[in-house]
Structure 1
Protein backbone atom coordinates (compact mmCIF):
# COMPACT_ATOMS: atom_id res chain seq x y z
CA UNK A 1 0.00 0.00 0.00
CA UNK A 2 2.64 2.57 1.01
CA UNK A 3 4.92 1.92 -1.96
CA UNK A 4 2.02 2.09 -4.38
CA UNK A 5 0.74 5.41 -3.00
CA UNK A 6 4.26 6.88 -3.10
CA UNK A 7 4.68 5.83 -6.74
CA UNK A 8 1.26 7.24 -7.64
CA UNK A 9 2.06 10.54 -5.90
CA UNK A 10 5.37 10.80 -7.78
CA UNK A 11 3.69 10.07 -11.13
CA UNK A 12 0.98 12.65 -10.39
CA UNK A 13 3.62 15.27 -9.56
CA UNK A 14 5.50 14.69 -12.80
CA UNK A 15 2.54 14.88 -15.16
CA UNK A 16 1.09 18.34 -15.58
CA UNK A 17 -2.59 18.58 -16.39
CA UNK A 18 -3.11 20.47 -19.64
CA UNK A 19 -4.35 24.02 -19.05
CA UNK A 20 -8.10 24.38 -19.39
CA UNK A 21 -8.75 27.12 -21.91
CA UNK A 22 -12.00 28.06 -20.15
CA UNK A 23 -9.94 29.35 -17.20
CA UNK A 24 -7.74 31.47 -19.47
CA UNK A 25 -8.74 35.03 -20.31
CA UNK A 26 -5.96 35.81 -22.80
CA UNK A 27 -3.54 34.07 -25.15
CA UNK A 28 0.15 34.96 -25.17
CA UNK A 29 2.01 34.41 -28.45
CA UNK A 30 5.77 34.76 -28.90
CA UNK A 31 6.71 33.82 -32.49
CA UNK A 32 10.51 33.93 -31.90
CA UNK A 33 10.26 30.92 -29.56
CA UNK A 34 7.15 29.30 -31.04
CA UNK A 35 5.07 29.90 -27.91
CA UNK A 36 1.29 30.01 -27.68
CA UNK A 37 0.13 29.87 -24.05
CA UNK A 38 -3.03 30.57 -22.08
CA UNK A 39 -2.93 33.40 -19.54
CA UNK A 40 -4.85 33.03 -16.26
CA UNK A 41 -5.28 35.43 -13.35
CA UNK A 42 -2.86 35.04 -10.45
CA UNK A 43 0.55 33.52 -9.90
CA UNK A 44 -0.22 30.77 -7.39
CA UNK A 45 1.69 27.61 -8.16
CA UNK A 46 -1.11 25.12 -7.52
CA UNK A 47 -3.96 27.00 -9.17
CA UNK A 48 -2.19 28.59 -12.12
CA UNK A 49 1.51 28.05 -12.83
CA UNK A 50 1.67 24.32 -12.06
CA UNK A 51 -1.24 23.78 -14.47
CA UNK A 52 0.76 25.12 -17.41
CA UNK A 53 -0.70 28.61 -17.53
CA UNK A 54 1.20 31.85 -17.75
CA UNK A 55 0.05 33.76 -14.65
CA UNK A 56 -0.83 37.45 -14.41
CA UNK A 57 0.49 39.23 -11.31
CA UNK A 58 -2.83 40.39 -9.84
CA UNK A 59 -1.77 43.86 -8.71
CA UNK A 60 -0.37 44.83 -12.11
CA UNK A 61 -2.15 46.39 -15.11
CA UNK A 62 -4.13 44.32 -17.59
CA UNK A 63 -3.06 43.94 -21.25
CA UNK A 64 -3.13 47.24 -23.14
CA UNK A 65 -3.55 49.37 -20.02
CA UNK A 66 -1.14 52.06 -18.88
CA UNK A 67 1.32 50.59 -16.40
CA UNK A 68 2.85 47.13 -16.42
CA UNK A 69 1.10 43.93 -17.56
CA UNK A 70 3.34 41.51 -15.65
CA UNK A 71 3.37 37.75 -16.22
CA UNK A 72 5.09 34.74 -14.66
CA UNK A 73 5.65 31.30 -16.15
CA UNK A 74 7.57 28.13 -15.40
CA UNK A 75 10.85 27.65 -17.24
CA UNK A 76 11.08 23.92 -16.55
CA UNK A 77 8.29 21.40 -15.93
CA UNK A 78 4.56 22.18 -15.89
CA UNK A 79 4.41 22.83 -19.63
CA UNK A 80 7.46 25.16 -19.33
CA UNK A 81 5.90 28.08 -21.25
CA UNK A 82 8.86 30.37 -20.50
CA UNK A 83 11.57 27.75 -21.20
CA UNK A 84 13.18 29.83 -23.96
CA UNK A 85 12.44 33.46 -23.06
CA UNK A 86 16.20 33.91 -22.60
CA UNK A 87 16.38 33.78 -26.43
CA UNK A 88 14.23 36.89 -26.88
CA UNK A 89 15.97 39.86 -28.45
CA UNK A 90 15.26 43.56 -28.64
CA UNK A 91 12.70 44.12 -31.40
CA UNK A 92 10.95 40.72 -31.04
CA UNK A 93 7.17 40.88 -31.10
CA UNK A 94 4.89 39.47 -28.41
CA UNK A 95 1.11 39.50 -28.79
CA UNK A 96 -1.57 39.23 -26.13
CA UNK A 97 -5.02 38.38 -27.43
CA UNK A 98 -8.06 39.05 -25.24
CA UNK A 99 -11.76 38.84 -25.99
CA UNK A 100 -11.74 42.49 -27.07
CA UNK A 101 -8.39 43.17 -28.73
CA UNK A 102 -4.96 42.00 -29.84
CA UNK A 103 -2.11 43.91 -28.19
CA UNK A 104 1.38 43.82 -29.69
CA UNK A 105 4.37 44.50 -27.49
CA UNK A 106 7.95 44.84 -28.70
CA UNK A 107 10.80 43.49 -26.56
CA UNK A 108 13.06 46.30 -25.40
CA UNK A 109 15.11 45.34 -22.36
CA UNK A 110 16.21 42.27 -20.42
CA UNK A 111 17.59 41.51 -17.01
CA UNK A 112 19.53 38.23 -17.09
CA UNK A 113 19.45 37.69 -13.33
CA UNK A 114 17.91 39.31 -10.27
CA UNK A 115 16.70 38.25 -6.83
CA UNK A 116 13.18 36.81 -6.47
CA UNK A 117 12.50 39.70 -4.04
CA UNK A 118 13.19 42.37 -6.72
CA UNK A 119 9.59 43.66 -6.90
CA UNK A 120 10.65 46.71 -8.93
CA UNK A 121 10.68 44.58 -12.08
CA UNK A 122 6.85 44.35 -12.00
CA UNK A 123 6.22 47.94 -10.80
CA UNK A 124 4.04 50.23 -13.00
CA UNK A 125 7.28 51.72 -14.37
CA UNK A 126 9.41 48.55 -14.34
CA UNK A 127 12.92 48.97 -12.98
CA UNK A 128 15.12 46.73 -10.92
CA UNK A 129 15.34 47.68 -7.22
CA UNK A 130 18.73 45.96 -7.09
CA UNK A 131 20.44 46.82 -10.38
CA UNK A 132 18.93 50.31 -10.56
CA UNK A 133 20.42 51.11 -13.97
CA UNK A 134 18.24 48.41 -15.55
CA UNK A 135 14.65 49.13 -16.56
CA UNK A 136 12.56 52.12 -17.49
CA UNK A 137 12.14 55.60 -16.03
CA UNK A 138 9.03 56.94 -17.81
CA UNK A 139 5.39 55.90 -17.42
CA UNK A 140 4.14 53.81 -20.34
CA UNK A 141 2.40 50.63 -21.43
CA UNK A 142 4.73 47.79 -20.46
CA UNK A 143 4.79 43.99 -20.58
CA UNK A 144 7.00 42.03 -18.18
CA UNK A 145 7.81 38.31 -18.44
CA UNK A 146 9.43 36.67 -15.40
CA UNK A 147 10.74 33.14 -14.88
CA UNK A 148 13.26 31.27 -12.77
CA UNK A 149 16.94 31.10 -13.66
CA UNK A 150 19.26 29.26 -14.02
CA UNK A 151 17.27 26.40 -15.52
CA UNK A 152 16.07 23.79 -13.00
CA UNK A 153 16.63 26.28 -10.16
CA UNK A 154 14.51 28.97 -8.55
CA UNK A 155 17.46 30.90 -7.14
CA UNK A 156 17.13 33.96 -9.40
CA UNK A 157 14.67 35.55 -11.82
CA UNK A 158 15.14 36.25 -15.52
CA UNK A 159 13.14 39.25 -16.73
CA UNK A 160 12.16 40.38 -20.24
CA UNK A 161 10.42 43.73 -20.78
CA UNK A 162 8.48 45.06 -23.75
CA UNK A 163 6.46 48.13 -24.63
CA UNK A 164 3.05 48.30 -26.31
CA UNK A 165 3.45 49.15 -29.99
CA UNK A 166 -0.04 48.47 -31.37
CA UNK A 167 -3.60 47.53 -30.50
CA UNK A 168 -6.17 46.07 -32.84
CA UNK A 169 -9.80 45.65 -31.74
CA UNK A 170 -11.27 42.20 -32.46
Structure 2
Protein backbone atom coordinates (compact mmCIF):
# COMPACT_ATOMS: atom_id res chain seq x y z
CA UNK A 1 0.00 0.00 0.00
CA UNK A 2 2.85 2.39 0.92
CA UNK A 3 4.69 1.67 -2.34
CA UNK A 4 1.55 2.43 -4.34
CA UNK A 5 1.10 5.78 -2.54
CA UNK A 6 4.73 6.75 -3.15
CA UNK A 7 4.42 5.74 -6.79
CA UNK A 8 1.24 7.78 -7.25
CA UNK A 9 2.86 10.80 -5.56
CA UNK A 10 5.91 10.58 -7.86
CA UNK A 11 3.63 10.36 -10.91
CA UNK A 12 1.72 13.48 -9.77
CA UNK A 13 4.97 15.38 -9.19
CA UNK A 14 6.24 14.29 -12.62
CA UNK A 15 3.02 15.45 -14.29
CA UNK A 16 3.16 18.83 -12.52
CA UNK A 17 6.78 19.34 -13.58
CA UNK A 18 5.96 18.36 -17.18
CA UNK A 19 3.02 20.78 -17.30
CA UNK A 20 5.17 23.56 -15.81
CA UNK A 21 7.91 23.05 -18.41
CA UNK A 22 5.36 22.93 -21.26
CA UNK A 23 3.66 26.09 -20.00
CA UNK A 24 7.01 27.89 -19.78
CA UNK A 25 7.96 26.84 -23.31
CA UNK A 26 4.62 28.04 -24.70
CA UNK A 27 4.84 31.32 -22.77
CA UNK A 28 8.38 31.93 -24.08
CA UNK A 29 7.39 31.19 -27.70
CA UNK A 30 4.43 33.58 -27.41
CA UNK A 31 6.69 36.31 -26.00
CA UNK A 32 9.30 35.77 -28.73
CA UNK A 33 6.57 35.99 -31.37
CA UNK A 34 5.23 39.21 -29.83
CA UNK A 35 8.71 40.74 -29.89
CA UNK A 36 9.21 39.79 -33.54
CA UNK A 37 5.79 41.26 -34.37
CA UNK A 38 6.71 44.46 -32.51
CA UNK A 39 9.83 44.70 -34.68
CA UNK A 40 7.72 44.29 -37.82
CA UNK A 41 5.48 47.11 -36.58
CA UNK A 42 8.53 49.34 -36.11
CA UNK A 43 9.65 48.60 -39.67
CA UNK A 44 6.18 49.51 -40.97
CA UNK A 45 6.13 52.74 -38.95
CA UNK A 46 9.60 53.64 -40.25
CA UNK A 47 8.45 53.13 -43.83
CA UNK A 48 5.27 55.16 -43.24
CA UNK A 49 7.13 57.93 -41.42
CA UNK A 50 8.86 58.94 -44.63
CA UNK A 51 5.44 59.72 -46.17
CA UNK A 52 3.13 60.39 -43.23
CA UNK A 53 3.65 61.52 -39.66
CA UNK A 54 2.96 58.52 -37.41
CA UNK A 55 1.51 58.90 -33.92
CA UNK A 56 3.61 56.91 -31.46
CA UNK A 57 1.99 55.32 -28.46
CA UNK A 58 4.10 54.90 -25.34
CA UNK A 59 5.19 51.32 -24.75
CA UNK A 60 7.50 49.54 -22.34
CA UNK A 61 11.00 49.56 -23.81
CA UNK A 62 11.63 45.89 -23.00
CA UNK A 63 8.48 44.82 -24.85
CA UNK A 64 9.74 46.11 -28.20
CA UNK A 65 12.31 44.32 -30.33
CA UNK A 66 14.75 46.74 -31.93
CA UNK A 67 16.24 44.11 -34.23
CA UNK A 68 16.07 40.44 -35.20
CA UNK A 69 19.19 38.24 -35.13
CA UNK A 70 19.27 35.37 -37.64
CA UNK A 71 22.09 32.81 -37.53
CA UNK A 72 21.29 30.03 -40.04
CA UNK A 73 24.20 27.75 -39.05
CA UNK A 74 22.74 27.29 -35.54
CA UNK A 75 19.09 27.67 -36.57
CA UNK A 76 18.61 30.83 -34.50
CA UNK A 77 16.06 33.54 -35.15
CA UNK A 78 15.59 35.72 -32.10
CA UNK A 79 14.40 39.23 -31.28
CA UNK A 80 16.86 41.65 -29.68
CA UNK A 81 15.78 44.29 -27.18
CA UNK A 82 17.70 47.29 -25.84
CA UNK A 83 19.63 46.63 -22.66
CA UNK A 84 21.27 43.54 -21.20
CA UNK A 85 20.03 43.44 -17.62
CA UNK A 86 19.40 40.05 -16.06
CA UNK A 87 15.62 40.55 -16.20
CA UNK A 88 15.73 41.47 -19.90
CA UNK A 89 18.02 38.57 -20.80
CA UNK A 90 15.49 36.19 -19.25
CA UNK A 91 13.04 37.32 -21.96
CA UNK A 92 15.21 37.91 -25.06
CA UNK A 93 18.67 38.72 -26.38
CA UNK A 94 19.84 42.17 -25.30
CA UNK A 95 21.79 44.88 -27.12
CA UNK A 96 24.49 46.10 -24.73
CA UNK A 97 24.05 49.80 -24.05
CA UNK A 98 26.67 52.58 -24.33
CA UNK A 99 28.22 51.06 -27.48
CA UNK A 100 27.77 52.06 -31.13
CA UNK A 101 24.64 51.27 -33.11
CA UNK A 102 25.01 48.21 -35.36
CA UNK A 103 26.39 49.14 -38.77
CA UNK A 104 28.32 52.18 -37.53
CA UNK A 105 31.55 52.52 -39.57
CA UNK A 106 34.54 51.73 -37.30
CA UNK A 107 32.01 51.03 -34.56
CA UNK A 108 31.53 48.28 -32.01
CA UNK A 109 28.19 46.91 -30.89
CA UNK A 110 27.35 43.80 -28.88
CA UNK A 111 24.45 41.47 -28.17
CA UNK A 112 24.32 39.46 -24.94
CA UNK A 113 22.26 36.36 -24.30
CA UNK A 114 21.96 33.45 -21.92
CA UNK A 115 24.02 30.41 -22.90
CA UNK A 116 21.34 28.08 -21.65
CA UNK A 117 17.76 29.03 -20.86
CA UNK A 118 15.14 26.82 -19.29
CA UNK A 119 12.35 27.66 -21.71
CA UNK A 120 14.14 28.88 -24.83
CA UNK A 121 17.21 28.68 -26.98
CA UNK A 122 18.82 32.12 -26.98
CA UNK A 123 22.62 31.58 -27.23
CA UNK A 124 22.79 27.93 -26.14
CA UNK A 125 24.39 26.94 -29.48
CA UNK A 126 26.64 29.99 -29.88
CA UNK A 127 29.69 27.79 -29.22
CA UNK A 128 28.97 25.97 -32.52
CA UNK A 129 29.75 29.04 -34.63
CA UNK A 130 32.96 28.89 -36.65
CA UNK A 131 35.24 31.40 -38.33
CA UNK A 132 33.70 32.48 -41.63
CA UNK A 133 30.09 31.77 -40.62
CA UNK A 134 27.70 34.49 -41.75
CA UNK A 135 24.57 35.79 -40.08
CA UNK A 136 22.14 38.68 -40.37
CA UNK A 137 20.83 41.41 -38.10
CA UNK A 138 17.61 43.03 -39.24
CA UNK A 139 17.40 46.62 -38.02
CA UNK A 140 14.49 48.94 -38.71
CA UNK A 141 15.88 50.23 -42.01
CA UNK A 142 18.18 47.49 -43.32
CA UNK A 143 19.49 43.94 -43.04
CA UNK A 144 23.12 43.92 -41.94
CA UNK A 145 25.25 40.91 -42.91
CA UNK A 146 28.14 39.85 -40.65
CA UNK A 147 30.96 37.32 -40.93
CA UNK A 148 32.61 35.74 -37.88
CA UNK A 149 36.32 36.60 -37.71
CA UNK A 150 37.26 35.84 -34.08
CA UNK A 151 36.05 33.58 -31.24
CA UNK A 152 37.47 33.97 -27.73
CA UNK A 153 36.80 32.85 -24.18
CA UNK A 154 37.56 35.69 -21.77
CA UNK A 155 37.09 36.65 -18.13
CA UNK A 156 33.88 38.61 -17.40
CA UNK A 157 35.83 41.82 -16.61
CA UNK A 158 37.66 41.80 -19.97
CA UNK A 159 35.58 44.58 -21.53
CA UNK A 160 38.50 45.70 -23.73
CA UNK A 161 37.47 42.98 -26.17
CA UNK A 162 34.61 45.28 -27.19
CA UNK A 163 36.93 48.14 -28.16
CA UNK A 164 36.45 49.49 -31.67
CA UNK A 165 38.70 48.12 -34.40
CA UNK A 166 39.81 50.40 -37.19
CA UNK A 167 38.35 49.68 -40.58
CA UNK A 168 35.46 47.41 -39.57
CA UNK A 169 31.95 47.64 -38.21
CA UNK A 170 32.02 44.98 -35.48
CA UNK A 171 29.24 43.08 -33.74
CA UNK A 172 30.09 40.85 -30.77
CA UNK A 173 27.82 38.05 -29.56
CA UNK A 174 28.40 37.33 -25.87
CA UNK A 175 27.26 34.58 -23.52
CA UNK A 176 28.39 32.85 -20.33
CA UNK A 177 30.78 29.93 -20.64
CA UNK A 178 30.92 27.01 -20.00
CA UNK A 179 27.30 25.82 -19.98
CA UNK A 180 25.48 26.56 -16.71
CA UNK A 181 28.41 28.61 -15.43
CA UNK A 182 29.25 32.31 -15.48
CA UNK A 183 32.98 31.89 -14.87
CA UNK A 184 33.95 33.05 -18.37
CA UNK A 185 32.41 34.72 -21.39
CA UNK A 186 32.28 33.26 -24.89
CA UNK A 187 32.68 36.15 -27.33
CA UNK A 188 31.99 35.64 -31.03
CA UNK A 189 33.10 38.66 -33.03
CA UNK A 190 31.92 39.40 -36.55
CA UNK A 191 32.55 42.18 -39.04
CA UNK A 192 29.93 43.67 -41.32
CA UNK A 193 30.28 42.55 -44.93
CA UNK A 194 28.53 43.51 -48.14
CA UNK A 195 25.03 42.21 -48.75
CA UNK A 196 24.93 38.71 -50.18
Q: Same fold (TM over 0.5)?
A: yes
| Partner Cα separation in structure 2 for residue 39 and residue 107 of structure 1 | 19
Checking the alignment, whether the CA contact within 8 Å between 1:64 and 1:167 is kept in structure 2 is: no
For residue 87 of structure 1, what is the aligned residue in structure 2?
128
Q: Specify which structure has the higher proportion of strand.
A: 1
| Cα displacement (A) at 1:139 | 4.2
Indicate the RMSD between aligned Cα atoms, in angstroms: 2.1
TM-score w.r.t. length of structure 2: 0.67
Q: Which has the higher contact order (CA 8 A, sep 6+)?
A: 1
1:34 aligns with 2:79: no
List aligned pairs for 1:84-163, cutoff 5 A.
84-111=125-152, 113-125=153-165, 138-163=166-191
TM-score w.r.t. length of structure 1: 0.77
1:74 aligns with 2:74: no
SS at match of 1:76: coil
SS at match of 1:32: helix
| Partner Cα separation in structure 1 for residue 167 and residue 112 of structure 2 | 21
Q: Specify which structure has the higher proportion of helix.
A: 2
| Cα displacement (A) at 1:79 | 2.0
| Partner Cα separation in structure 2 for residue 116 and residue 91 of structure 1 | 25
Larger Rg: 2
Unaligned runs of 5+ in 2: 1-15, 39-63
| Partner Cα separation in structure 2 for residue 118 and residue 80 of structure 1 | 25
